[in-house]
Structure 1
Amino acid sequence: MTSLLVLNAILSSAIVAVIVSVLAFAIRSDRRSTIAPKLRTVAQPRATARPVTLSLASTK
């Protein structure tokens, strides 16, 4: 019986480790795919707003 319990513990811990690693890899790939477009959309309004402020400052 103890050998079955040990095998059960080893198998369950291995399954949990595989699930956690797959989830971590999925989260990393999601972060890479979602952060880059967010940074681009954040940088675009700033890039378009800077020439406007520069032109307003030059007219004053």
Structure 2
Amino acid sequence: MSHTVTGIAVGAVLALSWITLGFWAFLFVAVAMALGALVARIIDGKLDLRTLADAFRGKRSSS
């Protein structure tokens, strides 16, 4: 599945949740989707938690 199709699907889910359930449900769905994407990237090995923690602490990488 291409990134465009995925983006369209995510946008449709968010729009429908806002229309049918209201703003707070939309916000909850958006946060849940973001957390799901974060967990998926960690599991796939595409996100290093140490690097992420260092970025939040203000440390810079040597590269």
**TM-score, normalized by length of structure 2?**
0.38
- Structure having greater relative contact order (Cα 8 Å, sep ≥ 6): 2
Larger Rg: 1
Task: Name the structure where helix makes up a greater proportion of residues.
Answer: 1
